[in-house]
Amino acid sequence: MSNFFKDIAPIRYEGTDSDNEFAFRHYDPDEMVMGKRMEDHLRFAVAYWHSFAWEGGDPFGGRSFDRPWFGDGMEAAKLKAEIAFELFAILGQPYFCFHDLDIRPEGASFVESRRNLDEIADIFAARMEQTGTRLLWGTANMFSHRRWMAGAATNPNPDVFAYAAATVKACMDVTHRLRGENYVMWGGREGYETLLNTDLGREAEQAGRFLTKVVEYKYKIGFKGTILIEPKPQEPTKHQYDYDVGTIYGFLKRFGLENEVKLNIEQGHAILAGHSFEHELALAASLGLLGSIDMNRNDYQSGWDTDQFPNNVPEVALAYYEVLKAGGFTTGGTNYDSKLRRQSLDPEDLVLAHVGAMDVCARGLKAAAAMLEDGFLEKARSERYAGWETPQAQAMLDLPLEEIAAQVEAGNLDPQPCSGQQERLENRVNRFL
Ligand code: XLS
Ligand code: NI
Ligand code: NI
């Protein structure tokens, strides 16, 4: 034991009457919700990068945290791994997620970096075996090092494309070895800073070829998990190609990958794209692309990806409503792509941030399940579209424009508006929150 978390005991469910800060009030892993354990619905994952690799910097200042594992070598990476599993033991969440760069130091060569990755993965494998903690997803950080500054797969330099291919292969191998349930592609630098130097068409072609290779490799190694793309409209680049759910759907269709790849949808990124989180989830579900979620909110005033732990129950409830309505997660889950505020220096802050977020999500899930079981929203929705259930209405979908026009004139059709009942529905929703 490192003694980093001192005497913080594993967090238990104590119910809403508990006065203990270090307890769950709503997250009871074994509570049954719509016939399934709460833990199996939510499938929480701790994000290694924010909780262990991030040093508390912002655009105006560097490291604010003081952690015993900060440093460049393998010893620091090993200590980080030990302490990460200590946090997992305290929280008891089933999963974690990582980028290669979060867990291992960059080597002097590609081969050395890969060896470092494999060595830390050995430690993970042993710890996972002992504790039962699982890997929700692995991914490659192809945005921090300067080699990626003009993109990874979309880079103008083919050597960078090659380096990206080797990097993703190494990360997929490790994810597969650790029985990860998904592999995520987030293209932080797959975009542009200025169109003046950018060939959009060529870059999209490179990205499509690259993703095709990733899917092919998945089958070659027998990886059973899901390949996920994470949409984000901008930041760090001015324009990111994987802008939002709709944009990625068009991209996947173009390369015939719409049945191979699903989406990891992040609350904060949805907001940056000018959507609500539930919009992105509902759209993905309607396209059959809903995979997993990153449940971190943004600060609505600062307007950037602030990656804060969720604390808004109504928002979270509407998000889980879409997830539950779509049948719940299969390989996906709830990853906290969330980091502390840079003044939250204490180990206790790291624990309590996760505890609070797990409770917020549990409340949201329970409210969503209650709404779905009540059925009022789906009833109102089906009544709204009831006119389409008639055989004539269905047949119209196959008629040419001129025949529809003839029917309108012959029948002297005069459509009558009816209420959309928005406030009424909002009032009903609020009763569940
Ligand atoms: C950054 C992204 C990133 C992905 C994984 O904004 O959210 O953290 O989730 O690369
Ligand atoms: Ni993000
Ligand atoms: Ni994310």
Q: Using the atom order of ligand 1, give the atom closest to the CA of residue 186.
A: 10
Residue to mutate, 186, 304, 309, ligand 1, most ligand atoms under 8 Å from C-beta:
186
**pLDDT above 90 (res 206):** yes
- What pLDDT does residue 1 have? 85
| Cα dist from 206 to 149, 167, 261, whole Å | 16, 16, 17
Question: Which residue of the set 41, 50, 99, 275 is catalytic?
Answer: 99
**pLDDT above 90 (res 261):** yes
- What pLDDT does residue 313 have? 97
In this structure, the residue with its CA closest to atom 3 of ligand 1 is: 186
- What pLDDT does residue 258 have? 98
CATH architecture of 12-374: Alpha-Beta Barrel (3.20)
Mean of pLDDT values over 70-90: 98
CA of 243 to the centre of ligand 2 (A): 12
**pLDDT above 90 (res 319):** yes
| Mean pLDDT across the chain | 98
- What pLDDT does residue 359 have? 98
CA of 160 to the centre of ligand 1 (A): 20
> 288 in the Ramachandran plot: left (φ > 0), alpha (ψ -120 to 50) or beta?
left
Of 128, 123, 88, 141, which Cα lies nearest the Cα of 354?
A: 88
Mean of pLDDT values over 406-419: 97
- Tokens linked to 273: 């794209």
Mean of pLDDT values over 329-347: 98
How sure is the predictor about 303, in pLDDT bands with cuts at 50, 70 and 90? confident
Give the domain ranges of the chain. 12-374, 391-431
Question: Which residue of the set 102, 242, 244, 305 is catalytic?
Answer: 102
Q: Which ligand ends up closest to the CA of 298? A: 2
Sign of CA dihedral 31, 36, 38, 39: positive
Mean of pLDDT values over 357-368: 98
- Tokens linked to 281: 């989830």
Residue to mutate, 98, 171, 232, 337, ligand 1, most ligand atoms under 8 Å from C-beta:
337
Residue to mutate, 264, 294, 304, ligand 1, most ligand atoms under 8 Å from C-beta:
294
In this structure, the residue with its CA closest to atom 6 of ligand 1 is: 305
Ligand 1 proximal residues by C-beta, below 6 Å: 99, 139, 184, 186, 230, 232, 266, 294, 305, 337
Catalytic residue list contains 102 = yes
Mean of pLDDT values over 190-197: 98
pLDDT per position as a tens digit, 20-67: 999 999 999 999 999 999 999 999 999 999 999 999 999 999 999 999
Catalytic residue list contains 337 = no
Q: How far apart are CA 10 and CA 89, in angstroms?
A: 6
CA of 184 to the centre of ligand 3 (A): 9
Max Cα distance, the chain (Å): 82
In this structure, the residue with its CA closest to atom 10 of ligand 1 is: 186
Of 241, 220, 108, 102, which Cα lies nearest the Cα of 169?
A: 220
**pLDDT above 90 (res 140):** yes
Q: How far apart are CA 42 and CA 87, in angstroms?
A: 18
Mean of pLDDT values over 214-238: 98
Query: Does the predicted TM-score (pTM) go above 0.95?
Result: yes
Among residues of the chain, what percentage have pLDDT more than 70?
A: 100
Q: Which ligand ends up closest to the CA of 188? A: 1
In this structure, the residue with its CA closest to atom 7 of ligand 1 is: 337
